[in-house]
Amino acid sequence: MQKRKLGDSNLEVSALGLGCMGLSFGYGPAVEKGQGIALIRAAVERGVTLFDTAEVYGPFTNEELVGEALAPFRKDVVIATKFGFDIDPATGQQRGLNSRPDHIKAVAEASLKRLRTDVIDLFYQHRVDPDVPIEDVAGAVKDLIAAGKVRHFGLSEAGAQTIRRAHAVQPVTALQSEYSLWWREPEAVILPTLEELGIGLIPYSPLGKGFLTGAINATTTFDSGDFRNIVPRFSPEARQVNQALVDLLGKIAAANGATSAEIALAWLLAQKPWIVPIPGTTKLHRLEENIGAAHVALTPADLAEIADAVAAVDVQGARYPEHLQRLVGR
């Protein structure tokens, strides 16, 4: 597995990481614990060194799973987790956002225990909290770094001005945001800002929540607990229109002797050397397919063909329902 550095930081990780959320949360029932541990450890054996989780995934159970799975390999891997939600400890219900400095520090202590470690490699603010100045958030993480409990500071789905303000207090190592062939908005302002400041990008949902793999069509049904049921982009009508993008991707993949997923991930890797996608999966064969993208070399002609194909498709549907859309891009 090739390695990449996140921006100007000294944090080096595998070119592809593993998004662990779906093992516990978001896409239907959680996998059986032994299956989740086996998948995470299979990723380690195949050279993956970046593992992404968050307290809110479950909540709490995903961090526990990741911590147990990675305990034997702790010195060889990078664990990223996130703070920023107010979670009722008794019910696990989200009660809104909370990035107050005292809360951030309490979350760090709890996450350290669940992750079975004495330091969090990368600690993200999960969503920007409009009630807490970002300078205070960055200052709290700076304190945690000084105390040796956190190594690197990250933001998720933050807008350019928020990134700049945070970075002035405590250098931001990475921004985690959605970025893929069917969500390219970060290219306008976010990518140039990150390049200027020397910050890495960790794209989540790099396969469009599974849609870009070609395994989903207009008639696909999701589990009742699957987040995609409330995503406008996954309405049957939107999927029918968006299938044109998947069909084009499939043709390009066939011409390159690759799968659609490999092409979608290889395209992301080709955009900037400081981009590290974190596709998630619950299946070993999908893990191996995703890792295979690191070995797909797209030529300038390939990239131009993909760009032209994507430009010809008007992707339908918002990427979040309205109540969640309000939390991104602040």
| Nearest Cα residue to 118 out of 94, 72, 149, 141 | 149
Q: Give, in order, the Cα–Cα distances in Å from 89 to each of 55, 59, 208, 213.
A: 11, 9, 31, 36
Compute the Cα dihedral for 115, 71, 121, 28 and give only its sign.
negative
27, 57, 124, 204: the active-site residue: 57
**In 3-state terms, what secondary structure has residue 155?**
strand
Q: What interhelical angle do 236-255 and 300-311 show, nearest 10?
A: 160
Whether 57 is a known active-site residue: answer: yes
Cβ neighbours for 201, distance < 8 A, ≥ 6 positions apart: 174, 175, 176, 177, 179, 186, 190, 191, 194, 272, 274, 275, 276
**In 3-state terms, what secondary structure has residue 282?**
coil
Amino acid identity at 126: H
Neighbours of 109 (CB within 10 A): 10
181 in Cβ contact with 277 (< 8 Å): no
23 in Cβ contact with 65 (< 8 Å): yes
Active site positions, annotated? 57
